[in-house]
Amino acid sequence: MRILLIEDDAMIGRAVRQGLAQAGFAVDWVTDGRAAELSLANGVYDLAVLDLGLPKKDGMSILTALRAMGNSMPVLIASARDTVRDRISGLEAGADDYVLKPFDLDELVARVRALLRRHVGSGSPLMCFGPLALDPVRKSVTRNGAPVELSAKEFAVLEALMQRPGAVLSREKLEESVYGWGEEIGSNAIEVHLHHLRKKLGSALIKNVRGVGYRVTEG
């Protein structure tokens, strides 16, 4: 799942990006309101973490414009504006949740998860294919009902493949879904994740289509 982080404070931005990435999300980070609007226009995000005081365009205007366009993506405001009035206007403008700075990183991640869970419905949005079942919100995977421990990146690779079962995804495409902008990617990082995935899940479940990419199979 891909998150847009809109935050102009370098220290907070770095920490939040790292925390969310460790939790297995692909994170793109923009530092001003204009860049935020351009990124949001792509429509590729599952959730946005939004600061209010931003250069070029205020967070509240971004949120209002987003909702006016009919975009219902979950938005979590993370702001130092702490009057009750601020919170109410944030929620009235269409934010789904509001955390006050300074916040605890674990709490922020937990709130992000809760919002995503609520957004996809109260039931579990399980992705199932062959013997595999993947829960994108709880970040868990089972094979024939037995839990499989995956690293955050392994999980993200598998999630990308299971979003389009049977379709062949190129390495570049996988990198795009697994890594946020500016994240360091080793030249064979995706291959390494795939190697581990095949070891953990059984090599029959992930096929390498030579020269093209990878796909999941029913084994």
Interface residues with Ca ion (CB under 5 A) are: 8, 51, 53
Distances (CA, A) of 192 to 150, 163, 165, 197, 214: 13, 20, 21, 9, 13
* Residue facing Ca ion at closest CB distance: 53
Beta-carbon contacts of 134 under 8 Å, excluding residues fewer than 6 positions away, are: 126, 127, 128, 140, 141, 155, 158, 159, 162
Q: Which tokens hold the place of 64?
A: 């209002």
Q: How far is the CB of 9 from Ca ion (least distance, A)?
A: 5
Interatomic CA distance for residues 172 and 93, integer angstroms: 37
Q: Closer to Ca ion by CB, 27 or 141: give it.
A: 27
Q: How far is the CB of 199 from Ca ion (least distance, A)?
A: 44
Q: How far is the CB of 80 from Ca ion (least distance, A)?
A: 7
Which amino acid makes up residue 137?
Answer: V
Q: How far is the CB of 61 from Ca ion (least distance, A)?
A: 14
- Strand 146-148 with 213-216, pairing: unpaired
Q: How far is the CB of 131 from Ca ion (least distance, A)?
A: 47
Determine contact, residues 144/131, Cβ cutoff 8 Å.
Answer: yes
Q: Closer to Ca ion by CB, 8 or 96: give it.
A: 8
Quick check: helix, strand or coil at residue 47? strand
Q: Closer to Ca ion by CB, 8 or 154: give it.
A: 8
Q: Closer to Ca ion by CB, 14 or 199: give it.
A: 14
Q: Closer to Ca ion by CB, 101 or 143: give it.
A: 101
